[in-house]
């Protein structure tokens, strides 16, 4: 049994080698590693250029709405993405998040997020890449921007938004990814129930914190994609072998990851 983790932030893992070893032992064959700023994009490119391990690392290049600083930094990051785009399986993590305290009442900051997101959507459209979208609290606006930019493939990551927007996401031909939040979040479960299996991806958002059975909180690793998978099967009452095959096929098709 093998599986793909479609959303990780490997640059942020305290013990990268250990996490990848555990992932390989657990049957994780591929991970998509998403950058959030210039430094993390650079790190992921270096990781996948160094000696290949048992887990294949596929970089997605992006500028996260929570990592926007100055217009100059945004321009430098977009420039790096453009120069290295041949190495990327996707653009992301990109999007909008107006829930951050420092953004909520600041129209200039909101506009900076929109410009950075638009710049990434334009790159995705120009190079025919999928986009992985962080759309917390701005699901509708992110959807409208992706559609208006002619994006063919978009993943609304860790989707926990309203069902009416989800319906329109699916109508646009897009997908959502579900996370370990399926274990505790009613919003995540509702989205997973609503979306058909052929529009779902599984992810960890590693190293997001997860709970152990005794309640201790630990940093997740790509091996924890099995937790997401099992929670999804339980929410949707799926046959595990069949669901696994479908989810792996979805991930390979979305990110254009070949079977080795
Ligand atoms: Zn993420």
Predicted pLDDT of residue 49: 85
Q: In the structure, what pLDDT confidence band is assigned to residue 50 with cuts at 50, 70 and 90?
A: confident
The Å distance, Cα 72 to ligand 1 centre, comes to: 23
As a residue count, the chain comes to 260
Mean pLDDT in the chain?
Answer: 96
Predicted pLDDT of residue 51: 67
Mean pLDDT of the region 137-154: 98
The Å distance, Cα 131 to ligand 1 centre, comes to: 12
The Å distance, Cα 204 to ligand 1 centre, comes to: 8
Q: Kindly report whether the global pTM for this prediction surpasses the value 0.85.
A: yes
**DSSP-assigned states of every residue in 62-115:** ---GGG---HHHHHHHHHHHHHTGGG-SEEEEEE----SHHHHT-HHHHHHHHH
Predicted pLDDT of residue 213: 87
Mean pLDDT of the region 80-103: 96
In this structure, whether the domain defined by 3-255 belongs to CATH 3.40.50.2300 is answered with no
The Å distance, Cα 241 to ligand 1 centre, comes to: 27
pLDDT for 98-129, tens place per residue?
999 888 899 999 999 999 999 999 999 999 99
The Å distance, Cα 18 to ligand 1 centre, comes to: 20
Predicted pLDDT of residue 239: 98
């Amino acid at each position: 049994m093998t599986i793909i983790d479609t959303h990780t932030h490997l640059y942020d893992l305290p013990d990268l080698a250990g996490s990848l070893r555990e992932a390989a032992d657990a049957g994780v064959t591929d991970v998509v590693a998403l950058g959030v700023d210039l430094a993390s994009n650079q790190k992921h490119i270096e990781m996948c250029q160094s000696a290949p391990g048992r887990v294949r690392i596929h970089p997605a290049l992006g500028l996260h709405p929570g990592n926007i600083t100055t217009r100059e930094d945004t321009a430098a990051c977009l420039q790096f993405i453009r120069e290295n785009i041949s190495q990327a399986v996707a653009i992301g993590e990109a999007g909008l998040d107006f829930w951050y305290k420092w953004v909520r009442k600041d129209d200039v900051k909101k506009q900076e997020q929109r410009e950075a997101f638009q710049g990434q959507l334009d790159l995705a459209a120009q190079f025919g890449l999928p986009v992985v979208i962080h759309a917390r609290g701005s699901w509708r606006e992110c959807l409208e921007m992706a559609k208006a930019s002619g994006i063919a493939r978009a993943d609304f990551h860790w989707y926990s938004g309203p069902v009416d927007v989800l319906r329109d996401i699916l109508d646009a031909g897009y997908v959502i990814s579900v996370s370990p939040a399926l274990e505790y979040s009613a919003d995540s479960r509702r989205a997973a129930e609503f979306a058909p299996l052929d529009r779902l991806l599984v992810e960890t958002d590693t190293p997001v914190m997860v709970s152990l059975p005794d309640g201790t909180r630990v940093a997740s690793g790509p091996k924890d994609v099995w937790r997401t998978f099992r929670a999804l099967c339980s929410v949707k009452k799926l046959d595990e072998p069949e669901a696994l095959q479908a989810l792996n096929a979805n991930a390979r098709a979305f990110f254009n990851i070949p079977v080795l």
